Structure 1
Amino acid sequence: MSENPVRILIPEGRTLKAAEAQELGMIDALADDPLSAARTMALPDRLATAMLPEPATDPDAVAAARDAVAKRRPHQIAPQTAIDLVEAAACLPLTEALRIERAAFLDLRTNDQAAALRHLFFAERAAMAQGREDGADIARAVVVGGGNMGTGIAYALAQVGIMVTLLETDRKGVDRARANVAALYDQAVKRGKTSAADARAALSTRHSFHIGYEHLPPADIAIEAVFEDMEVKRHVFAALDAALPDNAILATNTSYLNVNRIAETVRNPLRFLGLHFFSPAHLMKLVEVVCADTTSPETLASVMRLAARLKKVPVLAGVCDGFIGNRILTRYRQTCDIMLIEGALPAQVDAAMRGFGMAMGPYEVQDLSGLDIAYANRKRMGWKDKPGFRYISIADCVVEETGRLGRKTSAGWYDYTDGKPTPSPRINGIVTRESARAGITRRTFTDEEIVDRVAAAIVEEGFRILQEGIAEKSANIDLVLVHGYGFPRWRGGPMHWAGRKGLSTILHHIEELAAEDPLSWGAPALLRQAVAEGKTPEELEPQDLRNNRLEQNR
């Protein structure tokens, strides 16, 4: 093995700071005035340096690089190809190595993964450019709620120089919020993102903590981050409306609830909208900007400007249950639950989706976030008694009969030993029992069937979201699923992936599923139109979407 640790730069597309590049021998010198330094630098003997020695081969370093890239970028073609080419450079004559490199480049640039990554590159930049010109700058903010979400939002705001007041209802809540914010600064120091002195200065100068709504300092924006309860949120905004200046923007961080109903408590609803951060809010780049029926263009522009300042990827969404991301997530989970009752098991579904490239499977994710969250949402939506809806009992039985809520209770869809998940015989028993209760003869699912069914459900829901005007364009759905829900970046998001796979194939699959289970499946009119016209989701123009909505609303 090489004495020096393996530095993986090319396969991971890493960027280096100048000091690290000098340490690695990639640059010769650093200077505060590089132009002057270059003018006085003695030029090397060009003849002596024209033929550099061939690098030594190091099979152990190559193997270590392959292992590291396989873990960090599984399923991706280009990183492993890059390692092949670096290895070839140490073994082949220059002309032969260059010929191989050129051939690899031409092959890679035309494959599906390259197209997907280009698609996301331009979609991200278009989203982040929305806040660069219009809107007012925000200097002072109030954040309501000192839990993980509220403190993450407060910390993120403070990092871009905004003065933040974090509001709680009592002294105990304020003490907890202060400790949560301090913990984020401690983490930043440990990661080398800031110094201990700078962290102390930021905590003391940019953050304040407040009990109740009386005597709140003036603010340009207030962001609510309390738990998902409509009446609690309406109470919060009635109090903020009375306590803050009339021009302060009011934003709810709700994940599912009707933003228009919350806005009813505000005297001037023009200044109200949804601002759905993803947890952890100081790290996740995605934010759904939910435009209420009453949100003014000025309010929207100012929030987009704030998102750009935070270096977030803002995606505009309309009002519906779950907006873009959580609406699709709900459909995704429901589809997986149907496969459970028909014959699959949680660990198999998770493995199949990881094989597709998802960061985690749906049941692993639920164990991480807590089964109580999805359980409460199902109760809120009345799934058990919802007409025209196929209710699957398994997830509710797990919570109600066992009290298992995931990692927080050391047991959920999986059993946990020393923090490591293993398939649970008890959960598998509930799954098979509920199949029998429903009169279903269980069958075997292949991983391919699982992936195809989940992908079809996500794409179907994505077309409904486009059809209803919840998303402006298909690229926004791709951004939400990639940045918020672990959809593989190298597939470009579900809508882009569907276009590359072939919408006619997906439509045919949905029609087959609808024939078997009409309560759960049905082809959206916009999908049928796209297939009839031979268009991909990205090629659907605003006029296509408007006409489809008009037809739907007649």
Structure 2
Amino acid sequence: MPVVNYQIENNVGVISINNPPVNALSHTLRTELVETITNAQQDESKILIMICQGRTFIAGADISEFGKPPQPPSLPDVLTTIEASNKPVIAAIHGQALGGGFEVALACHYRCALSSAKVGLPEVKLGLLPGAGGTQRVPRLAGVEMALDMITNGNPISAEKAQSYKLIDKVIEGDLFAGANSYAQELIETKAELKKARDISIDPTTVNNDLFANYREKLAKRARGQIAPQNIISCIEAAVMLPMDEGLAKERELFIECMQSNSSTAMRHLFFAQREATKVKGLNKDTPVRDVKSVAIIGGGTMGGGIAMNFANAGIPVKLVEINNEGITRGLAIIEKNYSVSVKKGKLSEKQKTHCMSLISGVIDYQELADVDLVIEAVFENLALKQEIFAELDKSCKAGAILASNTSYQDIDKIANATQRPQDVIGLHFFSPANIMKLLEIVRGSKTADDVIATSMKLAKIINKVSVLSGNCYGFIGNRILRQYAREAQLCLIEGSSPQQIDSVMQNFGMAMGPFAVGDLAGLDIGYKARQGLSDEQRGEEKTYCIADALVEMDRLGQKNGAGYYQYDPQTRARSNDPLVMDVVEQQAKAQGIKRRQFDDDEILNRLTFTMINEGAKILEEGIAQRSGDIDIVYVNGYGFPVFRGGPMQYADSLGLKNVYDTICQYREQYGEQYWQASVLLKDLALSNKTFSEWSKDK
């Protein structure tokens, strides 16, 4: 069956595209679209309407063609054919017109859209730029500053907003085809011109002299390590300074540069990894899911309140459980304050805030949970307390209710065994602040039922989270790797480096913050208290935490009280180095019998990143993570790993696993086997010249 159909109705040539599920720009669609428009030039139609079947207009490129040699006609060739039509072409948009799909619409002479439609150029999120004229047509139609904002952030905009910037000519209510046909008749009657974006020129004198420089500076900070945003600025600058065809040539040149860059390779890896992460190996696609129409959260602190907000935002009623009415009042106040911040930032209306708050109520009696479909425990990390709570939930909750723990590292099986229904118990590890952070680690216990896993994965989508399934082990995926990262940071510090050197190295690598700045932000007392509950074996060698403990015992807790690894200004929270911290470091090194030495930046970077990679490989060996991309999704979305590196496992693949393995073997000889025994999987892949990504695909 053809994906492009054509018929003439009342002087209107209707080009109907039907390429399920999202009308992607496949080779077949491109070929048939060129043929259809070419043939329509000679028939009796006076105007052409391009409209799509299904749930959306052309949503973008065909991802099945990513990485394959391009087949003609290219998308720019298709757009040239559309724009050169001797009859006006109207794009009739519903759903989303994104990327190449929106570029198709921009090449049309007129654009109409349902009010519910959205348009955008999200290529920057894949480390790319629009390569079929988007950077040239948008500034000509909408203005330079709008083009810079829209294309460098990659977020779609509404049809109404697009109309206000002349990217859409008419917004339609009701039936799209009827509205588009009426618009076509109107254009025929008025003998509308062939309105081409390429015919618009931008007067350079209308553009602020500092505009491009200011955007470059801003994006250098916001998108560190990414070349696409800077190349987009260059393309839009070309739209101002050059004729259309020269601007298109510049766009194509910089598009290819982006496509061949390591940052785009990494970001495209993450795009596919996020799609794969939602698929659970061995779980039948037809596995039924349980209804979740009401939720309870045990614990009304910052974490519990943040979790509650996710469900209220999705329209799901939430009961917040605290030990007394004072706790409920305090918990609801935290939530109300968070919503007020969103209102102040314009992310939420006052009406939406009121509605969300109305969905959250406080209770102090577990009997109030008899009818809820899901309970999430979010109390502090004490296994005995969690087991006590789950035993109580087992008595109070209805059969079939899902019982979840937000624990960061406790054994899900030990928690589940406190109940008579371990099949209903699962880990739902939210990240702080839970109302903002996108990641949700879903932790399966040894007896967790398939439908509980399926329900949890589906629920993650409903509450707008990026979910990754983890097996049950200490720290799961994220915190298990974080422990090794933190250990090496502490060892580099005590062996000769400084907090500022280590933080600087990791920030220059692209991490959102260095490990010591993160520690100060979270509060050093959090880790201190957690260590108190661990066995000597779990805590590890004293030299891996003695500096942190010493600072806490000096009442240096981090930002919360103005002093941690750094000193903080009480008003601005600006940090500065504190010589007192280095005195503590040197005292602890002496107490541990460590002779401090000079560190170079490369060793710090390799020790902190390669230990993450090695632990990730062990997690894959043990089946804790399903695939290497899952680990990357966890680290980019939950721990600030630079998106342009693609996550620790993709970063390892880009370096070459043989290089990583050889360095780890060198560290084993230098520092001993305790921390530097290479994973068997890493060794096997390195010696067979394979990557983690290849191994994951073969599994």
Amino acid at match of 1:44: A
2:184 is the counterpart of 1:39: yes
- Range that drifts further, 45-54 or 324-333: 45-54
Counterpart in 2 of 1:287? Answer: 440
Counterpart in 2 of 1:146? Answer: 300
Counterpart in 2 of 1:515? Answer: 669
- Range that drifts further, 102-111 or 334-343: 102-111
2:597 is the counterpart of 1:446: no
**Contact preservation (8 Å) 2:520, 2:559:** yes
> Residue 260 of structure 1: which of 396, 409, 413 is its match?
413
Normalising by structure 2, what TM-score? 0.74
What is the Cα deviation at residue 123 of structure 1? 1.3
Counterpart in 2 of 1:161? Answer: 315
Counterpart in 1 of 2:264? Answer: 114
Q: Which protein has greater RCO, CA pairs closer than 8 Å, 6+ apart?
A: 1
**Contact preservation (8 Å) 1:153, 1:281:** yes
1:35-434 paired onto structure 2 within 5 Å: 35-36=180-181, 38-42=183-187, 44-46=192-194, 51-56=199-204, 58=207, 59-128=209-278, 134=287, 135-204=289-358, 206-383=359-536, 391-400=544-553, 402-417=554-569, 418=571, 419-434=573-588
What is the Cα deviation at residue 217 of structure 1? 4.1
Alignment CA distance shift 1:386-1:192 (3 Å): closer
What is the Cα deviation at residue 437 of structure 1? 2.7
- Range that drifts further, 239-248 or 84-93: 84-93
What is the Cα deviation at residue 109 of structure 1? 0.7
What is the Cα deviation at residue 21 of structure 1? 2.4
Amino acid at match of 2:226: Q
Q: Distance in 1 between matches of 2:474 and 2:461?
A: 26
Give the paired residue count: 540
Q: Secondary structure at the match of 2:468?
A: strand
Max Rg structure: 2
Deviation string, structure 1 residues 24-53 (Cα, Å, up to 9, x no partner): 333334332452552244353238986322
Counterpart in 1 of 2:680? Answer: 525
What is the Cα deviation at residue 163 of structure 1? 1.6
**Contact preservation (8 Å) 2:628, 2:696:** no
**Contact preservation (8 Å) 1:155, 1:184:** no
Alignment CA distance shift 1:453-1:55 (3 Å): farther
Deviation string, structure 1 residues 431-452 (Cα, Å, up to 9, x no partner): 1222233333322222222112
Counterpart in 2 of 1:463? Answer: 617
Q: Distance in 1 between matches of 2:371 and 2:259?
A: 53
Q: Which structure 2 residue ranges, 5 or more long, are not aligned?
A: 1-142
CA RMSD of aligned residues (A): 2.3
Deviation string, structure 1 residues 426-484 (Cα, Å, up to 9, x no partner): 11111122223333332222222211211111101111111111111111100000000
**Contact preservation (8 Å) 1:276, 1:289:** yes
Q: Secondary structure at the match of 1:143?
A: strand
Q: Distance in 2 between matches of 1:347 and 1:221?
A: 44
- Range that drifts further, 489-498 or 89-98: 89-98
Amino acid at match of 1:105: F
- Range that drifts further, 35-44 or 365-374: 35-44
**Contact preservation (8 Å) 1:128, 1:311:** no
**Contact preservation (8 Å) 1:371, 1:412:** yes
- Range that drifts further, 476-485 or 425-434: 425-434
Q: Secondary structure at the match of 1:358?
A: coil
Alignment CA distance shift 1:49-1:35 (3 Å): same
- Range that drifts further, 420-429 or 14-23: 14-23
Counterpart in 2 of 1:551? Answer: none
2:181 is the counterpart of 1:23: no
Counterpart in 2 of 1:549? Answer: none
**Contact preservation (8 Å) 2:460, 2:467:** yes
What is the Cα deviation at residue 543 of structure 1? 7.2
Normalising by structure 1, what TM-score? 0.92
Counterpart in 2 of 1:552? Answer: none
Amino acid at match of 1:122: F
Counterpart in 1 of 2:153? Answer: 12
Q: Secondary structure at the match of 1:146?
A: coil
Amino acid at match of 2:430: F
Q: Secondary structure at the match of 1:381?
A: coil
Q: Distance in 2 between matches of 1:387 and 1:416?
A: 30
Q: Distance in 2 between matches of 1:347 and 1:339?
A: 12
**Contact preservation (8 Å) 1:137, 1:305:** no
Q: Secondary structure at the match of 2:151?
A: coil
Alignment CA distance shift 1:133-1:202 (3 Å): farther
Q: Secondary structure at the match of 1:209?
A: strand
What is the Cα deviation at residue 383 of structure 1? 4.8
